[in-house]
């Protein structure tokens, strides 16, 4: 068994890593760290994790593989010495997702502490970067919104079937904001209400633009992307609806688009192209991304709906998928789960 450590097990992503890894056939969580709960048994802080007999410490013990589930900034500081020591790491924060340190500083407001590691970090969306993830020692786990948006758009952008004018409309459950307290996330504020936020630009926009740009091959026009997130009163899940005009001269049909998407994802264990629009409940607690592409013939527009669980395919599950690839385990090891229903 591989000994796994989780830095910041006391956040939502860290706790979800511990829950999912409990079922992993090749890896065992042997060490977990957290700041305010250091010294306490894990099951005292998270009673749902009682089968894991672990104590939360302030620093990880010796392990073979590390996940960092810290907020950005703090994560890079924790991860850099481990990477320099040669430990394989998946960082769930945003710290190694943007390849340009100046762009990171612009969006996150802090100077990157280790810009020299950025070219070595691999963006961990296995469906687009599987060979590189297999070779990586440092994987930047994608953000939750970018995961849903990129998987919805990649076949269309790479296939050149749309004009370079994309609108991404995404709705997230409240766990996407983490466990830290904030007025907008109080029950009385968020329940029975849906709100748009970050209308001047969300931090996930440069990540989405960076990765879509890598797939876009038409040099004559660059991609224009509008990304608008919304908060909805549910615990988990992201539903993303993407819109783009069909490329000039393409007579796209729903069946044709379906076939393109099916073919693009034919070797991906965690993406399913669905016959009906998916709902967040269909991926609640599992690592799947469900995608429904269609063509609005009246407006000649491609419309694609995707859904994921933000804490699983959008965070902890995808991180384990990346670990599996990095360590040569079957990609779906420990992750082959149905969703929770109802």
Ligand X SMILES: NC(=O)c1ccc[n+]([C@@H]2O[C@H](COP(=O)([O-])OP(=O)(O)OC[C@H]3O[C@@H](n4cnc5c(N)ncnc54)[C@H](OP(=O)(O)O)[C@@H]3O)[C@@H](O)[C@H]2O)c1
Query: Which stretches of the chain bind ligand X, using CB under 6 A?
Result: 8, 10-14, 34-37, 69-72, 74-75, 92-94, 143-144, 175-176, 178-180, 310-311, 314-315
Q: Pairing between strand 56-57 and 27-33?
A: parallel
- Answer yes or no: are the C-beta atoms of 119 and 137 closer than 8 Å: no
Least spacing, CB of residue 144 vs ligand X, in Å? 4
CB of 10 or CB of 283, closer to ligand X? 10
Least spacing, CB of residue 254 vs ligand X, in Å? 31
Least spacing, CB of residue 159 vs ligand X, in Å? 27
User: Which long-range contacts does 327-330 make (Cβ < 8 Å, 24+ apart)?
Assistant: 327/2, 327/26, 327/27, 327/65, 327/88, 328/134, 329/26, 329/27
CB of 35 or CB of 84, closer to ligand X? 35
> Which residue has the CB atom at the shortest distance from ligand X?
178
- Catalytic, 144? Answer yes
Radius of gyration (C-alpha) of the chain in whole angstroms: 20
CB of 8 or CB of 321, closer to ligand X? 8
Least spacing, CB of residue 90 vs ligand X, in Å? 11
Q: Which of 54, 52, 22, 21 is nearest to 38 (CA)?
A: 54
> Taking phi first (over 0 means left), then psi (-120 to 50 degrees means alpha), and beta for anything else, what does residue 24 get?
beta
Least spacing, CB of residue 59 vs ligand X, in Å? 11
CB of 2 or CB of 45, closer to ligand X? 45
- Tokens linked to 126: 């296995």
CB of 69 or CB of 114, closer to ligand X? 69
Strands of the chain, DSSP E:
2-7, 27-33, 56-57, 65-68, 89-91, 122-123, 138-140, 165-172, 195-196, 224-231, 238-245, 271-273, 289-296, 301-308
Active site residues: 144
């Amino acid at each position: 068994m591989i000994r796994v450590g989780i830095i910041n097990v006391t956040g939502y992503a860290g706790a979800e890593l511990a829950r999912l890894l409990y079922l992993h056939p090749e890896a065992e969580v042997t060490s977990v760290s957290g700041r305010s709960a250091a010294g306490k048994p894990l099951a005292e802080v998270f009673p749902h994790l009682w089968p894991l007999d672990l104590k939360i410490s302030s620093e990880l013990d010796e392990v073979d593989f590390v996940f960092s589930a810290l907020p950005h900034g703090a994560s890079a500081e924790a991860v850099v010495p481990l990477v320099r020591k040669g430990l394989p790491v998946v960082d769930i924060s945003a710290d190694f997702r943007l390849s340009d340190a100046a762009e990171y500083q612009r969006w996150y407001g802090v100077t990157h502490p280790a810009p020299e590691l950025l070219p070595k970090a691999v963006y961990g969306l296995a469906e687009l970067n599987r060979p590189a993830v297999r070779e990586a020692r440092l994987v930047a786990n994608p953000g939750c919104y970018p995961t849903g948006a990129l998987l919805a758009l990649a076949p269309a952008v790479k296939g050149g079937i749309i004009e370079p004018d994309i609108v991404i409309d995404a709705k997230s459950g409240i766990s996407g904001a983490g466990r830290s307290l904030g007025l907008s996330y109080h029950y009385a504020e968020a329940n029975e209400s849906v709100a748009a936020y970050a209308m001047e630009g969300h931090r996930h926009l440069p990540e989405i633009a960076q990765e879509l740009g890598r797939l876009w091959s038409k040099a004559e026009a660059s991609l224009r992307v509008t990304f608008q997130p919304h908060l909805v009163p549910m615990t988990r899940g992201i539903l993303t609806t993407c819109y783009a005009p069909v490329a000039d001269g393409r007579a796209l049909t729903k069946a044709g688009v379906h076939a393109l998407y099916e073919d693009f994802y034919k070797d991906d264990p965690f993406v399913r192209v669905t016959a009906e629009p998916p709902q967040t409940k269909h991926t609640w607690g599992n690592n799947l991304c469900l995608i429904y592409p269609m063509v609005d013939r009246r407006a000649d527009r491609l419309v694609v709906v995707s859904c994921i669980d933000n804490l699983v395919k959008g965070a902890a599950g995808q991180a384990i998928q990346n670990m599996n690839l990095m360590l040569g385990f079957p990609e779906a090891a420990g992750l082959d789960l149905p969703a929770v229903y109802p």
